[in-house]
Amino acid sequence: MTAAGLFAVAPDSALAAMFVPFESAQLSLPAEGRVLFLRARAGVRLRETAQPGWLCEQGFKPFADELARIGMQVGEPAAGELFPLVLVLPPRQRDEARALFARALTHVAPGGSVLASMPNAEGAKSGEADMARLAGPVQHLSKHKCRVFWSTPAADRVDQALLTEWLALDAPREIVDGYVSRPGLFAWNRIDHASALLAGHLPHDLRGRVADLGAGYGYLACQVIARCPNVGAIDLYEAEARAIGPARTNLARAGRESGRDVELAVHWHDVTQGLPQRYDAIVSNPPFHQGRADLPELGRAFIVSAADALVPEGRLLLVANRHLPYEAILGARFREVRQLATQEGFKVIEAVGVRS
């Protein structure tokens, strides 16, 4: 299975529903073909509809890579760059979604339209209400258990104060214990219980070069620096680009507070595609779901990538929900596998010695 397939939600109903207003002639695609697609996703309808002037913004590495593979231009619009049509696939997290609506309005040309599509079960009515508050009157339709809504915002109907307020919602901010995060990241406004459990069971004799896979805003890596004085280098790997800035900030602070010269690096990377170098130890709270569905294949893919990247006597420390079936793949790839702790529905596992 490809990385995009591992992370995909099928069928992607919101993407399919998004193009219904054009099929029903309620909206027209711009004649000159320039379209900005925020949080774009690859799919059949996108391949059939997109023109060379389309720009797709996607910060999640597997989805960005899939867009590039089907020939889409992937990147970010320049400041002040305007488009006659802006498409949006808003996230569930409301502050992140509101910031995205506000960004869409800053990039829509006069007389242009902003169109969004959301699953009904993921806050579609609230999303439509938010767009109406910000941009003025909206139209909508329902299809594929999704709500598609759009506006052609007139300058005098846009709530400029709200626009400024919502643009700021995506800014990194301090959350707890000095950590910096931002809305929409995993456990964005707290310390995740599973990660804290793993941090509390980190062996103090970890040493050498360590990697944190699926690092989020960097909590686990910071704990490695604080608790493991013989670690000389740590690399964070995270697929969500919006996490990279906060992770770098948190890691730099942890390095300063340690008083040691620790080599630090943060990588925007899809872990399921393997790692570029070898490690003495790897820590991870691997993802195990996409949307609302359990997807244990993700965690297994992280374990495979970790085993492939560890030195022969390397150590993998991971935390997972107790019901997730990782023991078989761990036993197949490591000589020793032991459970260090179980608590509140989670298990902490150490695997040592990569099988050749």
Distance, CA of 36 to CA of 40 (rounded, Å): 9
Q: Residue 1's pLDDT is what?
A: 40
Distance, CA of 2 to CA of 159 (rounded, Å): 43
Cα-Cα-Cα-Cα torsion 263, 267, 273, 278, nearest 10 degrees, comes to: -10
Distance, CA of 161 to CA of 206 (rounded, Å): 51
Q: Residue 195's pLDDT is what?
A: 97
DSSP class of residue 240 equals B
Q: Is the peptide bond before 11 cis (omega within 30 degrees of 0)?
A: yes
Residues 6+ apart with CB under 8 A from 283: 198, 202, 210, 211, 212, 213, 220, 221, 224, 316, 317, 318
Residues 6+ apart with CB under 8 A from 80: none
Between helix 160-167 and helix 94-107 the angle, nearest 10°, is 120
Q: Which residues of the chain have pLDDT under 70?
A: 1-11, 289-294
At 105, which helix (H) or strand (E)?
Answer: helix 94-107
Q: Residue 12's pLDDT is what?
A: 80
> Could you tell me the fold of the domain covering 173-354?
Rossmann fold (3.40.50)
Q: Residue 289's pLDDT is what?
A: 56
Cα end-to-end span (Å), the chain: 23
Strand, coil or helix: what is 17? helix
Residue intervals in the chain for CATH 3.40.50.150: 3-167, 173-354
CB neighbours (10 Å) of residue 157? Answer: 12
The residue among 127, 108, 136 whose CA lies nearest residue 17 is 127
Strands (E) located in the chain: 35-38, 54-57, 73-74, 83-88, 108-119, 139-143, 146-151, 173-174, 180-181, 207-213, 230-238, 263-268, 279-284, 289-290, 293-294, 310-321, 334-343, 346-354
Q: Residue 156's pLDDT is what?
A: 85
Distance, CA of 275 to CA of 14 (rounded, Å): 32
Whether 7 contacts 270, CB under 8 Å: no
Main-chain phi, psi angles of 355, to 5 degrees: -75, 135
The residue among 227, 236, 228, 223 whose CA lies nearest residue 206 is 228
CATH 3.40.50.150 holds for 3-167: yes
